[in-house]
Amino acid sequence: MMFLRSLAVICLSATLATPSLAQDRRVPTSPTELKLSYAPIVQRVQPAVVNVYAAKVVQNRNPLLDDPIFRRFFGVPGQQPEQMQRSLGSGVMVDPSGLVVTNNHVIEGADQVKISLSDKREFEAEIVLKDSRTDLAVLRIKDGKEKFPTLDFANSDELLVGDVVLAIGNPFGVGQTVTHGIISALARTQVGITDYQFFIQTDAAINPGNSGGALVDMTGRLAGVNTAIFSRSGGSQGIGFAIPANMVRVVVASAKSGGKAVKRPWLGARLQAVTPEIAETLGLRVPSGALVANVTASSPAARAGLKLSDLIVAIDGHTVDDPNGFDYRFATRPLGGTSQIDVQRAGKTVKLTVPLETAPDTGRDEIVLTSRSPFQGAKVANISPAVADELRIDADTRGVVVTELAEGSTAASVGFQKGDIILGVNNQKIAKTGDLEKATRETARIWRITVVRGGQQINVTLGG
């Protein structure tokens, strides 16, 4: 199984280095300097990079069992054969007690997780926290009775295009491997891997099995967690992407605090990209910034004075090129404080102070539907501001939304997707999770369902 995702497109934006930071870097000045080795850095950081083995039991289902004629004449076998699916990735030790960060897709759905250290010792591990929005997960070594080597976090905001970096992981399961390259680009936002798109691009060779491994700088600190490659062949083609250390730090901090989910600041506004046509309308020289398309009443954005059609151009001194860039910067701010946002309004720059607080999550009432129906195996919730923020839908939306689908469930096989909003079932209006649970308990030969997906209403008819 391939654990690093294969991407089909590459974005062509890059972050320019500032002269003051660039002065600390220099090129080799003599052949002697070219003989310098990365070995001291590798020896220091390699013990903190681990291999992650995940396994889950799956049932091999014969497709003939779905045929009612086959079932009628041959019956249904009592026990279906099971198979163990295994996956391999890498991870980084970030706390001496045995806390490991890796990619969420490496351990997604796993029943068993093992950690293998660079000295070949293996430990059972438990999943502490999973965050699909960043594709990060935090594991803890079970029964760890020693202090493990760790990596310190770099400030990924200080990285520059051209900086030398090392990638450490377990490509193709051959064993721990070190590759080197440079940072090819920063702030890649049109990659389409996770909700928070703000990736470090590197040409250090990264291959399947490197997922969750370390991208380290020349001081031996963690610059990012390798997560994906652009590839048409399945192997490295010199374009890899890593989650910046500043985002990894937020997820790890949530795990250390005992949280089961990452707590992030909530803006309470929907942003849209500035197209060339919009830029021309606004009189902008270049299409840059994040345009405010909607503001939720009583949200932090509303209380800060953010208005419809405001153009966000900076946050806490960092330029905002697009909504993805703003989302990343805002999501990495510490809760409890404030952020300074610069907006362009009627040709003038306005500075706003936004409080950093989580979205309200009252009335979620999340349940798993178990009755025999097309919804069996779906987890649904009422749309609170927190749910809307997690699923990237307008906070003003009302109704019941699918938040999770059990693998192999009826709901998944029917075609429901995470984020689907259920409006009606068999002519019954669905306003809260209790309505949907009641509707699924009723016997029906035909199910008429009204769903909103991606802003479009869809009417579906399914046989019972």
> pLDDT class for 7, splitting at 50, 70, 90?
very low
Answer yes or no: do 100 and 193 share one domain. yes
Residue 400 lies in a domain: yes
Q: Is the pLDDT of residue 69 over 70?
A: no
Between CA 373 and CA 422 the distance in angstroms is 14
Between CA 360 and CA 300 the distance in angstroms is 11
Q: Can you give the residue range of the structural domain that contains 154? A: 1-14+39-61+80-262
Residue 19 lies in a domain: no
> pLDDT class for 88, splitting at 50, 70, 90?
confident
pLDDT score of 381 = 93
Of the two residues 449 and 33, the one the predictor is more confident about is: 449
Choice among 87-91, 395-399, 401-405 with the minimum mean pLDDT: 395-399
Q: What is the mean pLDDT of residues 392-419?
A: 86
Residue 250 lies in a domain: yes
Name the phi and psi angles at 411, rounded to 5. Answer: -60, -40
> pLDDT class for 47, splitting at 50, 70, 90?
very high
Q: Is the pLDDT of residue 303 over 90?
A: yes
Answer yes or no: do 198 and 87 share one domain. yes
Answer yes or no: do 54 and 122 share one domain. yes
Residue 212 lies in a domain: yes
Query: What is the per-residue pLDDT across 304-358, written as a single tens digit (0 to 9) for each?
Result: 999 999 999 999 999 998 898 899 899 999 889 999 999 999 889 999 999 999 9
Query: What is the per-residue pLDDT across 168-196, written as a single tens digit (0 to 9) for each?
Result: 988 777 778 889 889 888 876 666 566 66
Q: Is the pLDDT of residue 16 over 50?
A: no
Q: How many CA atoms lie within 13 A of 233 on its CB side?
A: 7
> pLDDT class for 9, splitting at 50, 70, 90?
very low
Answer yes or no: do 431 and 406 share one domain. yes
Q: Return the residue matching tokens 């954005």.
A: 301
pLDDT score of 3 = 37
Percent of the residues in the chain that have a pLDDT greater than 70, as a whole number: 83
Query: What is the per-residue pLDDT across 102-154, written as a single tens digit (0 to 9) for each?
Result: 999 888 878 889 998 988 889 999 999 998 888 899 999 997 788 999 999 99
Choice among 81-90, 284-293, 418-427, 436-445 with the minimum mean pLDDT: 81-90
Between CA 215 and CA 169 the distance in angstroms is 9
Residue 183 lies in a domain: yes
Range with top average pLDDT, 60-64, 204-208, 216-220:
216-220
Q: What mean pLDDT value characterizes the chain?
A: 82
Name the phi and psi angles at 356, rounded to 5. Answer: -100, 100
Provide the domain count of the chain.
Answer: 3
Answer yes or no: do 194 and 343 share one domain. no
Between CA 307 and CA 311 the distance in angstroms is 9
Percent of the residues in the chain that have a pLDDT greater than 90, as a whole number: 36
Answer yes or no: do 3 and 95 share one domain. yes
Say whether 209 counts as a known binding-site residue. Answer: yes
DSSP state, 358? P
pLDDT score of 464 = 56
Residue 244 lies in a domain: yes
Question: Which three-class secondary structure state does DSSP give residue 152?
Answer: coil
Answer yes or no: do 156 and 250 share one domain. yes
Q: Return the residue matching tokens 């991606």.
A: 454
Q: What is the mean pLDDT of residues 455-459?
A: 86
pLDDT score of 25 = 65
Residue 274 lies in a domain: yes
pLDDT score of 194 = 62
Catalytically active residues are 105, 135, 211
Between CA 319 and CA 191 the distance in angstroms is 19
pLDDT score of 18 = 45
End position of a domain, from candidates 236, 262, 288: 262
Say whether 105 counts as a known binding-site residue. Answer: yes
Q: Is the pLDDT of residue 462 over 80?
A: yes
Answer yes or no: do 322 and 454 share one domain. no
Answer yes or no: do 217 and 107 share one domain. yes
Strand partners, 137: 102, 130
End position of a domain, from candidates 209, 238, 262: 262
User: What CATH number should be reported for the domain holding residue 423?
Assistant: 2.30.42.10
End position of a domain, from candidates 300, 326, 355: 355
Say whether 211 counts as a known binding-site residue. Answer: yes
Answer yes or no: do 382 and 286 share one domain. no
Residue 315 lies in a domain: yes
How far from the centroid of its chain's Cα atoms is residue 105's Cα?
A: 9
Range with top average pLDDT, 27-31, 202-206, 430-434:
430-434
Say whether 103 counts as a known binding-site residue. Answer: no
Q: Is the pLDDT of residue 458 over 60?
A: yes
pLDDT score of 15 = 33
The burial of 120, by beta-carbon neighbours within 10 Å (0-12 exposed, 13-18 middle, 19 or more buried), is given as exposed
Answer yes or no: do 185 and 322 share one domain. no
Answer yes or no: do 52 and 120 share one domain. yes
Structure tokens at 430: 């669905």
pLDDT score of 238 = 65
